[in-house]
Amino acid sequence: MLKVLKNLKKSFWSVVVIILLLIVQAQADLNLPDFTSRIVNEGIQFGGIEKAVPQIISKQDLENILIFSEDDDKITENYTLVGESPSKEQEKVLKKYLGKDFDIELESIYVLNDIDSSKEDELAKLMAGPLMEFATVTSEDTAAQIKETMMANLPEEQKAVLENMSILDIIKSMPEEQRKSVLEQFTKQVDEMQDSIKEQAAITEIKNLYKDLGVDTDKLQNNYILVTGLQMLGVALISMVSAITIMLLSARVAAKLGKTLREKVFKKVLSFSTGELNRFSTASLITRSTNDVQQIQMLISILFRVVVYAPIIGIGGFIKVLTNSDSSMAWIIGVAILAVLFIVVTLFIIAMPKFRKLQELTDKLNLVSREILSGLQVIRAFNTEKKEEKRFNGANKDLMKTNVFVNRTMSIMMPALMLIMNGITVLIVWVGGHNVDQGIMQVGDLMAFIQYTMQIVMAFLMISMISIMLPRASVSANRINEVLETEASIKDKKETKKFDPNKKGLVEFKNVSFRYPDADTEILEDINFTAEPGKTTAIIGSTGSGKSTIVNLIPRFYDVTGGELRIDGVNVKDVSQKDLRDIVGFVPQKGLLFSGTIESNIKYSDDSMSDERMYKAAEIAQATEFIETKEKKYQDPISQGGGNVSGGQRQRISIARALAKDPEIFVFDDSFSALDLKTDAALREALSEITHDKTVIIVAQRISTILNAEQIIVLEEGKVVGIGTHEELIKNNETYRQIALSQLSEEELSEKGGK
């Protein structure tokens, strides 16, 4: 898989941008639950007051609060009494809380100094207790109870004096020691409470203090919710823009990687010899360059999100839970992760073996489909449609069963995971609800905890999903690498030679032998002959004697395994394949045409070829007569493989294509078999007029095609059993004589031989 991913270097900067945007998106998503918590806690519950630290406070209220504190100096050093001429910072705070047209004695107002967040947190801890105690003694409900308790054991005269005094005034009027004793009881009770309870009570008291000063607390609350809400929307917008950009870039990177892989596979396949093509099969190579590449594209489109985004969300969310929420509920996240992993691993173990089979079964289906479509005429001729339908249905059914099994297995995943997520949500609400009831946790923190937990679970879900996609993509990557890493058996040397211009067109077989890859026996043995320019060399023999194998060695579709094949005086292994094939015009047994027009097929070797050259080639190949009958003539369309023309027409266009190339050496591999005798004779006569300085090598089954050849090579079981002219072989070679007599009578042979 890593070898395939190395191809991402072409999209290096896009990958860098994706990673940076994923980090930005992850950070934005991790901050969203904080905003939810702040809106619910500070905005709704606390009226826009973030901490248990009053920003402004009257001199009298501060003095009253300090009665309940032992850290007077630490508190007062953070406040400054506003004078007649407040500073800009003080004036800004006053306008924020009291409005532009405030009417208050500035000498009686304290304003919080400009301190950093950490120092403000420390101040909040110092003031939370005193503020709560102050709220307790000033509350009508609690004050009456406390006053009744304090006066229970006092004499009637003292009760009458204290009856009209407030609790705060009573505490102030107490002797030092008695006051300390009373305050210690308050402090002890407050210290035993949860910090969250003290904070809530303190903030509630700050809100009352603000009201006493004339602060519009409703406006303060609305402003806080509005500002925080806008910040939240801004962060959400950043996350959305990042996500959209990431999706676009990921799709582009994945598509570019797919394009690169398809190009590499195609380029590699073009370098393969016939041996490598036979090893992989056409159907498999098509699957590897389409379906396998598609699997990798799908993986890449979400890979970065899983590799970068999921770990940040998972780890970051867990850290946020531990630092910003009640860490005693962290065990719920552990339960959620274990449940998700259990479901995914179980399904993974069940479905994994089937993933490996899917690509193999896709190969098989493509192979069967290709064979049936290619051999449709034969199937109809033998009336075996039902048999082939059964074969196709078998391959199709195997693939369907595997796909259905995988899809059914994976379809269980999402409902199971949703059940886990909903169950975890219920568990969080259940446990968190008790914590909120006990004052251990705020409602906003509970909501944030739910969001963080879902983010963490989703992160693990994404990682799990990639672990399921990865095996199938890995199989595809291995199949692609198998093609890319296959060394072509026929390749050019680092230093190649040039042809000898003095031996132009000379083809020499010297003790040539050949064996197919993995074969046990030699197909050709000790082949020796020379084909000279200006002469026609014919090769004839029974089926399987090695005729086509010999001519396939000339353009180096295969390499000889023994001996030496020389063209223009140079071993074909010492020249470049391009130079070799530039001087060879090859017409295969099966005339293969490409989709396009008659013109594009004849001009296949050179698009800039003149029309005159094309017309001349078509005329020699005896193709003019049927081309001229076409509605668009040379612009008439040719379907894939030449399916819309007859076999003879296909052969003549293939011959015209080779003639138009005007090479040094013509190789016809039984290329006249689909022509009638009249067309065959006319074509050979026209061909002889332009090949007086060319080397012509013809593989033929028909004696009539090669009667006038200057040299006939007779093959039998991969060996040369005769070389000579028709007359010489008829007299001296029994194998040739048997082949000739199987086609013509003694009289016909005598007549033709005498001509």
Compute the radius of gyration of the chain from its Cα atoms: 47
The 8-class DSSP code of residue 181 comes to H
Residue linked to tokens 């898989």? 1
pLDDT at 509: 92
What are the tokens at 505?
A: 């067109």
Calculate helix-pair angle for 413-437, 385-411, nearest 10 degrees: 10
pLDDT tier at 414 (50, 70, 90 boundaries)? confident
Reported as a single tens digit per residue, the pLDDT across 476-515 is 888 888 888 888 878 888 888 898 888 888 999 999 999 8
pLDDT at 754: 45
Q: What percent of the chain lies above the pLDDT cut of 70? A: 91
pLDDT at 755: 44
Q: What residues does 104 pair with on adjacent strands?
A: none
Reported as a single tens digit per residue, the pLDDT across 512-539 is 999 887 777 888 889 999 999 988 899 9
Q: In Å, how far are 75, 140, 198 from 171, measured between CA atoms?
A: 21, 16, 21
Point out the least confidently predicted range of 71-75, 80-84, 500-504, 594-598: 80-84
Q: Per-residue b/e over 218-256, b at no fewer than 16 CB within 10 Å?
A: eebbeebbeebeeebeebeebbeebbeebeebbeebbeb
DSSP string, 28-92: HHHHHHHHHHHIIIIIIISTT--SS--SEEEHHHHHHHHTT-S-HHHHHTTEEE--SS--HHHHH
Reported as a single tens digit per residue, the pLDDT across 569-594 is 899 999 988 889 889 988 888 878 88
pLDDT tier at 189 (50, 70, 90 boundaries)? low
Q: Per-residue b/e over 363-374, b at no fewer than 16 CB within 10 Å?
A: bbbbbbeebbee
433-444: average pLDDT? 78
Residue partners of 102: CB distance under 8 A and separation at least 6: 94, 95, 214
Nearest to 720 by CA among 513, 526, 548: 526
pLDDT at 451: 85
pLDDT tier at 159 (50, 70, 90 boundaries)? low
Q: Is the pLDDT of residue 462 over 60?
A: yes
Reported as a single tens digit per residue, the pLDDT across 538-560 is 999 888 888 888 988 998 888 89
The boundaries of every CATH 1.20.1560.10 domain in the chain are 2-16+248-484
249-269: average pLDDT? 89
Q: Is the pLDDT of residue 232 over 90?
A: yes
DSSP string, 711-750: EEEEEETTEEEEEE-HHHHHHH-HHHHHHHHTTS-HHHHH
pLDDT at 564: 92
Report the alpha-carbon distance of residue 152 to residue 696 in Å, rounded.
133
Reported as a single tens digit per residue, the pLDDT across 136-145 is 777 766 666 6
Q: Is the pLDDT of residue 10 over 60?
A: yes
The boundaries of every CATH 3.40.50.300 domain in the chain are 592-662
Side chain identity at residue 330, one-letter code: A
Report the alpha-carbon distance of residue 78 to residue 55 in Å, rounded.
10
The 8-class DSSP code of residue 488 comes to P
Q: Is the pLDDT of residue 326 over 60?
A: no
CATH architecture of 592-662: 3-Layer(aba) Sandwich (3.40)
Q: Is the pLDDT of residue 236 over 90?
A: yes
pLDDT at 713: 92
Nearest to 463 by CA among 304, 339, 618, 329: 304
Q: Report which of residues 375 and 657 the model is more confident about.
A: 657
Point out the least confidently predicted range of 155-164, 336-345, 592-601: 155-164
CB atoms within 10 A of CB 405: 14
CA 497 from centre of chain: 45
Report the alpha-carbon distance of residue 133 to residue 182 in Å, rounded.
12
Q: In Å, how far are 196, 272, 388, 400 from 403, measured between CA atoms?
A: 55, 33, 22, 5
pLDDT at 336: 83
Residue 77 backbone phi and psi in degrees, to 5: -70, -15
**What fold does the segment set 2-16+248-484 form as a domain?**
ABC transporter transmembrane region fold (1.20.1560)
The answer to whether 556 and 549 have CB atoms below 8 angstroms apart is no
Residue 396 backbone phi and psi in degrees, to 5: -65, -40
Nearest 5°: CA angle at 137, between 131 and 138? 85
Report the alpha-carbon distance of residue 189 to residue 184 in Å, rounded.
9
Side chain identity at residue 283, one-letter code: A
Burial label, 422 (beta-carbon count in 10 A; 0-12, 13-18, 19+) = exposed
Q: What residues does 724 pair with on adjacent strands?
A: 712
Residues recorded for the chain: 755
What are the tokens at 335?
A: 């339960």
Residue linked to tokens 């070898």? 3
Residue linked to tokens 């064996």? 515
275-280: average pLDDT? 78
Report the alpha-carbon distance of residue 73 to residue 64 in Å, rounded.
14
pLDDT at 748: 65
